[in-house]
Amino acid sequence: MVSDFMDSAKRTIKVRGAVDNSNRLLKAEMFVAVNLPADEHPATSIPVKAVFLKGEKHYVFVEQEPGQFARQEVQIGPEHNRRIIVLAGMQPGQRVVTDGCLLLQQSLHD
């Protein structure tokens, strides 16, 4: 978990995480430097306004071919800077509709 604010005097941000400390090497109030492994597969992020909710599921409209779009269910992750991480349901490089999603949704007959 990452704090919502930065301590301007110390120029630090508090972060809470869980690590294996079975050897009891880490002690309370210790300072640590951490290198986090990069994901093997970079996450896909899309504009927040491309995602819409229908019932309890999240969807996007993806371009199948020029002028042809299909509704596709996605699993979403965190949001940052008006973009949202797509955890599942899309392939990197797929094009999504960002304006007019509700109009496309209304045109479907389900």
- The whole-model pTM stands at 0.59
Kindly report the CATH number assigned to the domain that includes residue 76.
2.40.420.20
Q: Is residue 19 part of a domain?
A: no
Give SS3 for 52. Answer: strand
Beta bridge partners of 47: 83
Is the residue at 12 inside a domain?
Answer: no
CA-nearest of 8, 30, 12, 11 to 21 is 30
Greatest pairwise CA separation for the chain in angstroms: 61
Number of domains in the chain: 1
| Domain-embedded: residue 64 | yes
What proportion of the chain, given as a percentage, has pLDDT over 90? 19
pLDDT at 51: 92
Give the mean pLDDT of 18-40: 79
Domain presence at residue 53:
yes
pLDDT value for 56: 92
Answer yes or no: is pLDDT of 58 > 90. yes
Query: Does 40 or 107 have the greater pLDDT score?
Result: 107
Inside any domain, residue 10 = no
Residue 87 belongs to some domain of the structure: yes
